[in-house]
């Protein structure tokens, strides 16, 4: 069964880890968020795609959820000694990847081609695609001003309330090669348990991607990132409350109007199931907290079976 997955960073990567336990990697295509990419110290950093890469290849730091395991920070120590920017933590091993990617991008290779080489280099057999090779950046509008995503998220610890979100460059962005074909060839589309606004929407902000998902002839299943109306990590619940008016599973489903056929939601939110169903979306209630390989795998299996698809 060919599966194409729209994914954010940490939560998305954990879910995908379960998915590749139950599906051959060669059947999986991941379309990753580039809205939170940044240029730092002259390097192109793609945090969400790298988080997926590291997590799925086993190179990631499981505790933090991002960056590499067995990391050291000596390069950044030098930057600090010289008074440079150290608000975004780049480890030495991570920097090696950024050096390789930045050089390839500067030589004119598109991000998708570079990421394909990197994924192979890390031993992955699945297809890991950025949503676009064009520059698309998420900006967050807050009462304290407008910030590029990582400035708000990391430097300001997502403390400012969010009044609005913009996906700068989305109007001109084209899908990366292979994205539309993967959506059209899939037997099932999945949306990972990620923040709808800053992880998934930057992918769907590329008009041709949204249109392809809207035009699907196969089921699309999303997994809610909330448990008991709360985000496991990060600002998804606060953003939903402020931007969507609430944190029920129905509020999550409404972020994906016309785009999903089923929503996997946690047992703690089971009371929301009728409201989800009323939106024409099949609610699938299960345990969604991914604590270990077994719970990750079970969630992946539930998502794969959500609309009656057979493994
Ligand atoms: N997240 C942090 O909270 N602080 C950091 O300093 C940080 C550095 C970092 C470096 C490389 C990388 O691939 C990810 C990194 N992240 C860091 C995670 C990242 O900012 C977010 O988790 C995602 O962008 C949100 O999806």
Whether residue 153 is contained in a domain is answered as: no
Q: What does each of the 311 residues of the chain score in pLDDT, given as a tens digit?
A: 999 999 999 999 999 999 999 999 999 999 999 999 999 999 999 999 999 999 999 999 999 999 999 999 999 999 999 999 999 999 999 999 999 999 999 999 999 999 999 999 999 999 999 999 999 999 999 999 999 999 999 999 999 999 999 999 999 999 999 999 999 999 999 999 999 999 999 999 999 999 999 999 999 999 999 999 999 999 999 999 999 999 999 999 999 999 999 999 999 999 999 999 999 999 999 999 999 999 999 999 999 999 774 33
**d(CA 266, ligand 1 centre) in Å:** 26
* CB crowding 103-133: b at 16 or more within 10 Å, else e: ebbeeebbbbebbbebbeeeebebbbbbbbb
pLDDT at 310: 39
Whether residue 11 is contained in a domain is answered as: yes
Supply the Cα-derived Rg of the chain in whole angstroms.
Answer: 18
Pocket of ligand 1 (CB under 6 A): 8-10, 36, 45, 47-48, 50-51, 66-67, 88-90, 94, 150, 153-154, 199
Whether residue 209 is contained in a domain is answered as: yes
**d(CA 66, ligand 1 centre) in Å:** 6
Write the CB contacts of 103 (distance below 8 Å, at least 6 apart in sequence).
Answer: none
Q: Based on the structure, what is the number of domains in the chain?
A: 1
Whether residue 265 is contained in a domain is answered as: yes
pLDDT 10s digits, 110-148 = 999 999 999 999 999 999 999 999 999 999 999 999 999
Confidence (pTM): 0.97
Q: Pick the residue whose CA is nearest to atom 8 on ligand 1.
A: 89
- Structural domain for 117, as ranges: 3-136+170-304
Whether residue 157 is contained in a domain is answered as: no
Whether residue 20 is contained in a domain is answered as: yes
Distance, CA of 40 to chain centre: 21
Tell me the CATH number at 131: 3.40.50.10680
Whether residue 150 is contained in a domain is answered as: no
**d(CA 274, ligand 1 centre) in Å:** 36
Whether residue 311 is contained in a domain is answered as: no
């Amino acid at each position: 069964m060919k599966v194409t997955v729209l994914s954010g960073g940490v939560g998305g990567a954990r879910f995908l880890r379960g998915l590749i336990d139950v599906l051959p990697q060669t059947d999986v295509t991941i379309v990753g968020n580039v809205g939170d990419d940044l240029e730092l110290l002259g390097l192109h950093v793609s945090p969400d795609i790298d988080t997926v890469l590291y997590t799925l290849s086993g190179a990631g730091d499981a505790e933090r959820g991002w960056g590499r395991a067995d990391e050291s920070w000596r390069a950044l120590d030098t930057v600090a000694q010289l008074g440079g920017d150290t608000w975004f933590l780049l480890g030495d091993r991570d920097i090696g990847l950024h050096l390789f990617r930045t050089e390839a991008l500067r030589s004119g290779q598109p991000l998708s081609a570079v990421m394909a080489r990197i994924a192979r280099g890390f031993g992955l057999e699945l297809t890991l695609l950025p949503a676009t090779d064009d520059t698309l950046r998420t900006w967050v509008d807050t009462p304290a001003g407008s910030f590029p995503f990582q400035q708000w998220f990391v430097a300001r610890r997502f403390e400012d309330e969010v009044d609005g979100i913009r996906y700068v460059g989305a109007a001109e962005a084209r899908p990366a090669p292979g994205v539309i074909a993967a959506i059209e060839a899939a037997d099932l589309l999945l949306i990972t348990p990620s923040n709808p606004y800053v992880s998934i929407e930057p992918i769907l902000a590329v008009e041709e991607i949204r249109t392809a998902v809207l035009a699907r002839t196969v089921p699309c299943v999303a997994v809610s990132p909330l448990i008991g109306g709360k985000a496991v990590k990060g600002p998804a619940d606060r953003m939903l409350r402020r931007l969507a008016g609430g944190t029920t599973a129905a509020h999550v489903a409404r972020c994906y109007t016309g785009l999903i056929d089923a929503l996997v939601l946690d047992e703690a939110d089971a009371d929301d199931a009728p409201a989800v169903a009323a939106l024409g979306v099949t609610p699938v209630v299960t345990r969604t907290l991914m604590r270990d390989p077994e719970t990750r795998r079970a969630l992946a299996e539930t998502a794969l079976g959500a609309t009656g698809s057979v493994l």
